[in-house]
């Protein structure tokens, strides 16, 4: 028995009866038939840092739908797997993003990928049995995404209950690099999902090439950008730049931000081997002589710096140069520091999208990206992981004049489109065709 965490407010269960669901064949549209007056029970999963900002707008849109008295009524439960558990990797994001407390916390924690995935799979199956949702929403590409998707896909095999519909938010992204754990998570989750919500056009093409029926796929935009647009003003008001001495204050008035760069690095392929990590740091050396580089450090990366004895790269930051290590930041402070940066250097996926939307030049410290729209239309360049490639990409970005160009449907309304689609599933027996 999983204990529900105490909640501040929860949507009331309208009826105890289990809805009748109708699953259609692969070629047809997924539909969900629920008796009148019955709430549709939706369970959204979050686990790791990049999930929180993708899930928050969906929860807000479901609540707005209910508050407006629209039908069907949604009963929503939030499940936290516990993949990320520290205050700075998890709790602070709940406060910043105004997320409700999780209704269920699986308390899984760290482990090898197999251990972590298996533990989430086992515990989430128990949650499914206990809660009997109609729809499960998973977001992004972390181990929690895959494990919970798999639990849903296998649910009917050992119970008499029908399995819930599985919705994947941020479907279709592909780096075509199967060495990347997230790529395996993306491909497998997409192939199990009933509803695939896509953030950029490449996602539609990738899913078509993999034989996923177009009827399951909907291009809705990007819920991570919904969060960015919602909290941008709050981020502007954050005191992070003053606190770090990156914005002067005179007579209580804020001056212009200083010329600085922002760095994030946490991918195992970049930081878990000494040579790769050192190559990247060497690639930054020209830049760090010119402007200060602020580096909020992921716990994994901090451990590697100590293990590999790389402290010399961070030993002498000054207000005008060097790399300055700081603790990981919350959402609002991170957006605050990102939007005024001269340049962002990252191996994260989401930051490539956020910098594109903000019009901030970005160098991706990887050999590929699963988010090609950020390079084709946005401000991102792929710098690779060799020192020479990184130096070249930085020089290119510093010399470039950026013309901001926000990708299609990154307009802050992705979550509304997702909720509209969920509504439509229930209301109509013959849904309208979705984009090819
Ligand atoms: C995970 C995601 C990655 C995402 C990243 C954001 C997968 C496969 N990877 O990687 O896609 O970009 O989150 O951070 O799901 N740790 C803590 N405190 C925490 C969480 C983790 O100290 O709250 C430490 C643990 O020692 C752990 C290590 O960080 O072993 C890595 O955490 P893990 O969740 O395994 O992967 P991430 O590298 O964070």
The alpha carbon of 117 and the centre of ligand 1 are apart by a number of angstroms equal to 13
Contact between residue 358 and residue 380 where contact means Cβ atoms under 8 Å apart: no
Which residues touch 170 (CB under 8 Å, ≥6 apart)? 54, 139, 140, 141, 197, 198, 199, 222, 223, 224
pTM, entire model: 0.91
Q: Is the Cβ atom of 87 under 6 angstroms away from ligand 1?
A: no
Residue 14 banded pLDDT, cuts 50, 70, 90: very low
Q: What's the average model confidence in pLDDT over 26-35?
A: 54
Q: Is 267 in the pocket of ligand 1 (CB under 6 A)?
A: no
Number of H helices, E strands in the chain: 17, 15
Strands 253-257 and 247-250: antiparallel
Tell me, using a 6 A CB cutoff, whether residue 182 lines ligand 1.
Answer: yes
The two tokens of residue 280 are 């990247």
Of 30-34, 121-125, 177-181, 354-358, the range with the lowest mean pLDDT is 30-34
Atom 31 in ligand 1: residue holding the nearest Cα: 300
The C-alpha angle with vertex 353 and arms to 348 and 359, in degrees rounded to 5, equals 120
Give the mean model confidence (pLDDT) for residues 110-119. Answer: 97
pLDDT at 315 over 50: yes
**105, 266, 298, 424: which one is catalytic?**
266
What is the Cα–Cα distance from 385 to 270, expressed in whole angstroms? 8
**Pairwise CA distance, residues 409 & 23, whole Å:** 29
Closest by Cα among 106, 102, 130 to 119: 106
Residue 196: band (very low, low, confident or very high) from pLDDT cuts 50, 70, 90: very high
List strands edge to edge, sheet with 135-139: 104-105, 74-80, 40-46, 135-139, 165-171, 195-198, 217-219
pLDDT at 251: 65
Q: Please tell me the distance between residue 50's alpha carbon and the centre of ligand 1 in angstroms.
A: 10
H helix runs in 12-103, sequence order: 49-67, 92-96
Spatial neighbors of 417 by CB under 8 A, at least 6 apart, are 197, 218, 220, 221, 409
Average confidence score pLDDT of the chain: 90
Q: What are the structural domains of the chain?
A: 10-222+411-433 (3.40.50.2000), 234-399 (3.40.50.2000)
The rounded Å distance from CA 49 to ligand 1 centre is 8
pLDDT tens-digit series, residues 35-60: 546 799 999 999 999 999 999 999 99
Q: Report the interhelical angle of 143-153 vs 113-131 (nearest 10°).
A: 50
CA distance linking residue 316 with residue 252, whole number of Å: 30
3-state secondary structure of 14: coil
Q: Which atom of ligand 1 is nearest to the CA of 268?
A: 38
Q: Catalytic site residue 266?
A: yes
Give me ligand 1 centre to Cα 426, in Å.
Answer: 36
């Amino acid at each position: 028995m999983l204990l529900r965490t105490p909640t501040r407010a929860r949507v009331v269960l309208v009826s105890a009866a289990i809805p009748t669901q109708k699953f259609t064949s692969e070629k047809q549209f997924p539909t969900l038939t629920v008796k009148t007056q019955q709430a549709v029970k939706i369970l959204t999963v979050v686990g790791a840092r990049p999930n929180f900002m993708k899930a928050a707008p969906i929860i807000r849109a479901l609540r707005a739908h209910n508050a407006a008295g629209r039908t069907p009524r949604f009963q929503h439960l939030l499940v936290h797997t516990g993949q990320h558990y520290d205050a700075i990797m998890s709790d602070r994001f709940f406060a910043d993003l105004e997320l409700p407390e999780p209704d269920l916390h699986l308390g899984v924690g760290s482990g090898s990928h197999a251990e972590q995935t298996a533990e989430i799979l086992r515990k989430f199956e128990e949650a499914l049995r206990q809660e009997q949702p109609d729809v499960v929403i998973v977001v992004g590409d972390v181990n929690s995404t895959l494990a919970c998707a798999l639990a849903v896909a296998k649910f009917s095999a050992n119970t008499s209950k029908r399995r819930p519909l599985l919705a994947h938010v941020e479907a279709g992204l592909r780096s075509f690099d199967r060495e990347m754990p997230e790529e395996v998570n993306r491909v497998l989750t997409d192939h199990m999902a009933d509803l695939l919500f896509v953030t950029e056009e490449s996602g539609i093409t990738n899913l078509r090439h993999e034989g996923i029926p177009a009827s399951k796929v909907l291009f809705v935009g990007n819920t991570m950008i919904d969060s960015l647009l919602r909290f941008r003003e709050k981020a502007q008001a954050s005191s992070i730049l003053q606190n770090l001495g990156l914005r002067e204050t005179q007579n209580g008035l804020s001056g212009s931000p200083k010329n600085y760069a922002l760095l994030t690095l946490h991918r195992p392929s970049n930081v878990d081997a000494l040579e790769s990590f050192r190559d990247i740091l060497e690639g930054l050396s020209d830049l760090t002589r010119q402007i200060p580089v602020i580096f909020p450090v992921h716990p994994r990366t901090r451990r590697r710096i100590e293990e590999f004895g790389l402290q010399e790269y961070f030993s002498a930051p000054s207000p005008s140069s060097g790399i300055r290590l700081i603790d990981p930041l919350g959402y609002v402070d991170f957006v605050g520091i990102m939007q005024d940066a001269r340049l962002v250097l990252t191996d994260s996926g989401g930051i490539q999208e956020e910098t594109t939307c903000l019009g901030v030049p970005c160098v991706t410290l990887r050999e590929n990206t699963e988010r090609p729209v950020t390079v084709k239309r946005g401000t991102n360049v792929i710098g690779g992981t060799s020192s020479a490639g990184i130096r070249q990409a930085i020089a290119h970005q510093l010399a470039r004049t950026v013309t901001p160009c926000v990708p299609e449907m990154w307009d802050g309304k992705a979550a509304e489109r997702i909720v509209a689609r969920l509504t439509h599933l229930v209301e109509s027996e013959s849904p309208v065709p979705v984009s090819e």
